[in-house]
Structure 1
Amino acid sequence: MQRHQSGNTGKRKRRPGQFEGRRAVIVRVTGALMRAILIALAIATPSLLLPDITADAAQVVVLVAMVGALYTFIEYFSQFPTIIEFRFAPPVNRLRYFTAFAMILLLAVYQSGPALDSPISDLLQRVGQILVNAVDFPYSPVRLVILALPEGSSAAFIQDVRAAAGIAYLTSLCGLVAFGILVRVYGWPARYGAFNVWINLPLFDPTGGGDVLARLKRDSVVNIVLGFLLPFLAPVVVRFLMPMVDLHALALPQTLIWTMVAWAFLPANLIMRGVALARIAAMIEAKRRRTYAAAKAEGVLAI
């Protein structure tokens, strides 16, 4: 009897929660590691495709890729929000990433077209020229980028900048269209589960003062307007700062790629954020109306 009891007490029963906890950690580590690898790949893509990359430039790229991957891993491994928004409201961040990665990849392939000497690069260059001609019209952001170049720039330099600006701007527009479809057609974020403002908007303080709904609407308008104006204002600002900025550095393929990505992606990201905030504000307003209507109905019934 004692052996039987001691045998039973010697065996430790594992609770289901232990397996669930381990599984959650494994899933979180795997997801964070995959995202870190994707970030490092995006940063290193121009160096992997462009020819004539110096050893110093390669070392800098490797360092930046490692830092970006490490930060991404720490951010997504943590259970608590820090800086990155919409972590638990997929697939917004995936759409952001693939929009930026598409810009980087297309620009890198376009810039390294003669060195790659492949049918894909030749096709991309021809299609790129057709698409660039479609967005290069008077007062367009692409035309303003060209006008911001220094006087006396060579025709080849102007053509490279024009093509890069057109490809980056068109890619950002495609990302915005995809996000609009995600919101309007697929009903983001309502159809993807409950939306928690605290964990998805870590930089937004609901207790910062004022009505949350009014602040969300205000931030939404500011982000959309700023995102729309930035592609137009950035070349004008650079033109005024011409004595302080050496635009001839854009002749370097990597500098041109990252400059055009920043010029096109940051405004698109602001517009996406503004539309997302407007959508969240609409959801909060609709929920308030339902709550007030239910409370009013209960009051009437009580009377």
Structure 2
Amino acid sequence: MIARISGAAARGILVALLIATPALMLPDALNDSSQITMLVALIACFLTFIEYNSNFPSIIEFRDAAPFNRLRYVCLLVTIILLTLILKQKVSPSVLGGAMTSIGTILGNAMDFPFSPVRMIVLMLPESASDALVTSVRTSAGMAYLISLISMGAFLVLVRIMNWPVRQGAFNVWVNLPLFDPTAGGDVIYRLQRDARINIALGFLLPFLIPAVVKAAADLLDPITLQNPHTQIWTVAAWAFLPASIIMRGIAMGKIAEMIEEKRRRAYADEAEKDHGLQPA
């Protein structure tokens, strides 16, 4: 009981710190929305605590299949911290910020080729955007996209080489996939494989679709300028993190489908062997 409460509280605090990181790191001159950020951080902390303190899952998937959510958290946290350092470099230069800006600039320029995700997010900016803003977005996008690629690669190694989630013990589908109903109809393996393919395809397309949708909606709504550092940090982080997270979810569901299929195959083999042993001589 105490361990569950303390673990839930720690997770809630970590989520709150993640959300508050830009407001805590950026100078006061850039920190006009700090109060709203702190309010959102407190709400996220409370919701995370309630989720992990409950015996029954509600929304968060793979709650007991570490380190899936930990890897996603670290990916988003590192992205937020590095993007904040890059934007902080403009008003409060530092050695670390300069290094991250240089690396991000190299990555952004290398990834900014026709029809690339980085080129798409740069084209999302309005035509009136300054060269400095375009460069800043390109630098942030290059850094964020690299982190997302590294996180996906790390999770793929975790699944294929380290045999996640089997090494954690028995996998409870109800606890780890609360939004998936095994009794909804149809073969569970087929549905998991279908959802895995959909998630992977959607995750691959989102870095291209998000800027296109935002650009198309600019005619009806106010275009996103990304002039505000907080807006730029969270927009670029979401653009890179959400597709990576969805792809990781697809890989995880595909792995679960393989586990169920293998278990079913062994059960059929054991049953066939038992029936063969009961045949009269």
TM-score (norm 1): 0.89
Please say if residues 47 and 53 of structure 1, whose CA atoms lie closer than 8 Å, have aligned partners that are also in contact.
no
Matched-pair contact (CA < 8 Å) for 1:168–1:260: yes
Deviations, residues 189-245 of structure 1 (Å, cap 9, x unaligned): 111111010000000001111111111011001100000001011111222212134
Structure 1 residues 200 and 53, CA gap change in structure 2 (3 angstroms): farther
Question: Deviation at 1:55?
Answer: 7.2
Q: 1:149 to 1:114 in 2, by over 3 A?
A: closer
Question: Is the aligned partner of 1:121 residue 2:97?
Answer: yes
Matched, 1:153 2:153: no
User: Offset at 1:247?
Assistant: 3.3
Alignment-derived partner of residue 202 in structure 1? 178
- The Cα shift of 1:84 comes to 0.2
- Judge conservation of contact 2:204–2:247 (CA < 8 Å) in 1: yes
1:276 and 1:188 map into 2 onto residues whose CA distance is 9
Task: Write out aligned runs for 1:1-303 (5 A).
Answer: 25-53=1-29, 57-303=33-279
SS at match of 1:89: coil
User: Which AA in structure 2 matches 1:111?
Assistant: L
What is the identity percentage for the equivalent residue pairs of Structure 1 and Structure 2? 52
1:82–1:302 Cα change, 3 Å? same
Residue 56 of structure 1 deviates from its aligned partner by 5.6
Alpha-carbon distance in 2 for matches of 1:130, 1:297: 61
Query: Which secondary structure does the structure 2 equivalent of 1:143 belong to?
Result: helix
Question: What CA distance in whole angstroms lies between the structure 1 residues aligned with 2:4 and 2:24?
Answer: 29
Gaps of 5+ in 2: none
* Deviation of the 1:284 alpha carbon: 0.3
* CA distance in 1 between partners of 2:197 and 2:40 (Å): 33
Which structure 1 residue ranges, 4+ long, deviate > 4 Å from structure 2? 53-56
Which runs of 5 or more residues in structure 1 are unaligned?
A: 1-24
Rg (Cα) greater in structure: 1
Aligned partners of 2:30 and 2:229 also within 8 Å:
no
What amino acid is the match of 1:252?
N
State the distance in 2 between where 1:227 and 1:212 align: 22
State the Cα RMSD in Å.
1.3
Aligned length: 279
